[in-house]
A and B are shown apart, each in its own frame.
Chain A
Amino acid sequence: MDADTSRALLSRAIARVANRDPDALKYVYRHTSAKLFGVCLRILNDREEAEDVLQDVYLTVWNKADRFDPERASPITWLVSLARNRSIDRIRARGGRVMTVVDEAEALPDGAPLASTLIEDEDDRRRLEGCLDQLDPKHAGAVRTAFFEGVTYEALANMLSVPLGTMKSWIRRSLISLRACLEA
C-alpha cells in the first residue's frame, strides 16, 4: 500500500472513530500502535508507563477524533504529536527523572534507518532535515535531542553539559531560524 493510500485510509478511519465506530478505532490502533509505542517508549524509557500512556492516547483518539482535521494535519503527525505530548506530560508529572544516556540520544537520529512505514511526505521531511543542517551542528544536535528525549531546558542543559541560559538561547535561536527556513 502506498503512502497516499495508507494516509487516506487512516484519515477515513479517524473520521469513523468520531462517529463512535470501535472497528475504526481498532484499525487506527492496528496501523499506528507500534509507531506510537515506539515514540512513548523513546521518551518514557519505561514499558509499563509507555503502555499506560499508549492506552491513554487511544482513549483520547476515541474521545477527540472530531478534532482531527485532515486538511490541516496528516493523521500520523496528529497521532505522533498526541503520543509525544502525553508522554512529555507524564515525565513532567513524575519529576525530572532523566534516564537516557546522551550517547544513545545522539546516536539515534543519524544512525537509525527510516523506521516509519507510514512515511510522510518525503519532501517535507527532507526540507526539515535540510533546514536543520543549516544550523550550527551543536544547536541542531540540541534540537534533535530535545525532540527525542522530551526533556526540559534544564535537563537538556545538563545532558549536553551547557549552561541553562546558553541552552535556552541555542534552542530559541534554532527555532526562529528553522521557522524562517521552513517558511522560505
Chain B
Amino acid sequence: MTDALPPHDGEDRPFAGEYALGVLDADERAEAQRRIAAEPAFARAVEWWEGRLAHLAERIPPVEPPVTVWPRIANLVGAAATQKPSAWNNVRLWQGASAGALALAAASVVALVITPRPAPPPAVAPVKPPPAPAEVALIADPTTKQPALVATLDHAAGKLILTPVSMKMPAGREAELWIIPEGQKAISLGVIPGDAPKAIALPAGLTGAGTYTALLAITDEPPGGSPTGVATGSVRAAGKFQQTE
C-alpha cells in the first residue's frame, strides 16, 4: 500500500494532483505527461490521484453513444477479420438444416425449457454414441416456440457460434444474449446481430461442463445493449444446450 502513496512533491505544488484533477493548461499538461513517461514515481503519484478522484465520476450519468461509434472502432482494430474459418462449417450446417429438422429440435428444446423439472427429453431417435465436437442450443420464443437462434459450442476454439433463424425485436431495440449458469446470475454475451452469423468468445471460467447446463436467453435491450449490465428488457427467447449426435 505504501508504494501507492504519492511522493510529497513540494507541499506548495501538488503537481500530480493538479494534473489528475485537470486544472493545468496545455503546456503544463504536456510537461506532466512527459514526467509520467519519464518518472515512475510521478506516474505513480498521478495514478494515486486518479484512483481517488475518479470516484467523483460516479455522479456523471451514463449516456449511450450513437450506434455508429462501435462499428468505426471495430473497423479500425480489424475486428471483422478475425472470424475462425473452422467455425463456419457449423454455421453452414445449421443454415442448411431443413425446416422440419429445426422444428423438431425446437420442440424438444422447448420441452426442456418449459417443463418444470426433470422430465427426460423426448426420445425421438435412438441415442448414438456421442463423440460430440459441439453442443447445440436452440433458443426459441417461450410463447410461440418459434426458434430464434441456434447456438453451437465450439470446444476447440472456446467459442459460441450464433446463427439467427428468426429473430424479431421491437423497433429501436437490440437483441442481447445472456448465459445463465445454474444457480447463478446472467452474464451478458453481448448484443447479437439478427441477420448474420457470429462467433463470440465464451467468458473465461465458463468453458467447462457448466456451460452445458446453463440457460441461454435473449432479451430486447436499448441499442448497444443493457446499460446496466443486468437485463432490462423482456425475455424474447431462451434455450439450453443438448448433445448433438
Question: Which of A's residues lie within 8 Å of B, judged by CB?
Answer: 1-2, 5-6, 9, 12, 16, 21-27, 29-31, 33-35, 37-39, 41-43, 47, 50-51, 54-55, 58-59, 62, 72-74, 76-77, 80-81, 84-85, 88-89, 92-93, 108-109, 112, 114-120, 124-125, 128-129, 143-144, 146-148, 150-154, 156, 171-172, 175-176, 178-179, 182-183
Contact yes or no, A115 B58, CB < 8 A: yes
For A143, the chain B residues whose CB sits under 8 A away are 21
| A22 CB contact (under 8 Å) in B11, B62, B78, B228 | B78
For B55, the chain A residues whose CB sits under 8 A away are 120, 124-125, 128-129
For B74, the chain A residues whose CB sits under 8 A away are 22, 26
Bound-state Cα–Cα, A146 to B21, Å: 7
| B56 CB contact (under 8 Å) in A109, A151, A152, A156 | A109
Given A22-B77, A33-B64: 7 more A-B contacts, CB < 8 Å? A35-B62, A38-B60, A55-B73, A62-B77, A81-B20, A115-B59, A147-B56
Contact yes or no, A179 B14, CB < 8 A: yes
Contact yes or no, A117 B61, CB < 8 A: no
Contact yes or no, B65 A34, CB < 8 A: yes
For B116, the chain A residues whose CB sits under 8 A away are none
- Tell me, rounded to whole Å, the shortest Cβ–Cβ distance linking A167 to chain B: 8
Contact yes or no, B58 A116, CB < 8 A: yes
Of B107-115, B125-133, B164-172, B182-190, the stretch lying at the interface with chain A is: B182-190
For A33, the chain B residues whose CB sits under 8 A away are 64-65, 69-70, 224
- Tell me, rounded to whole Å, the shortest Cβ–Cβ distance linking A49 to chain B: 12
| A9 CB contact (under 8 Å) in B53, B200, B203, B224 | B203
For A182, the chain B residues whose CB sits under 8 A away are 52
Asked if B135 lies at the interface with its beta carbon under 8 angstroms from chain A, I say no
Question: Which of B's residues lie within 8 Å of A, judged by CB?
Answer: 4-6, 11-14, 17-18, 20-26, 29, 47, 49-66, 68-70, 72-74, 76-79, 82, 185-188, 190-191, 200-201, 203-204, 224-225, 227-230
| A30 CB contact (under 8 Å) in B13, B57, B224 | B224
For B200, the chain A residues whose CB sits under 8 A away are 23
**A-B CB contact pairs (8 Å), 14 listed:** A6-B229, A16-B201, A27-B190, A31-B188, A33-B224, A37-B65, A41-B63, A72-B47, A73-B51, A77-B54, A112-B60, A117-B227, A148-B56, A175-B18
| B23 CB contact (under 8 Å) in A80, A108, A171 | A171
| A117 CB contact (under 8 Å) in B66, B82, B203, B229 | B229
Q: Nearest A residue to B24 by beta-carbon distance? A: A152
For A54, the chain B residues whose CB sits under 8 A away are 65, 69
For A178, the chain B residues whose CB sits under 8 A away are 17, 52
Contact yes or no, B23 A114, CB < 8 A: no
With A62-B77, A109-B56, A128-B56 as given contacts, are A179 and B12 in contact (CB-CB < 8 Å)? no
Contact yes or no, A58 B73, CB < 8 A: yes
With A34-B65, A72-B4, A116-B62 as given contacts, are A77 and B50 in contact (CB-CB < 8 Å)? yes
With A38-B61, A144-B56 as given contacts, are A156 and B23 in contact (CB-CB < 8 Å)? yes
Give the 9 A-B residue pairs with the shortest CB-CB distance, closest first: A22-B79, A34-B62, A175-B17, A92-B26, A81-B50, A115-B61, A37-B65, A125-B55, A116-B58
Q: Nearest A residue to B222 by beta-carbon distance? A: A34
Bound-state Cα–Cα, A156 to B21, Å: 12
- Tell me, rounded to whole Å, the shortest Cβ–Cβ distance linking A174 to chain B: 9
Contact yes or no, B6 A116, CB < 8 A: no
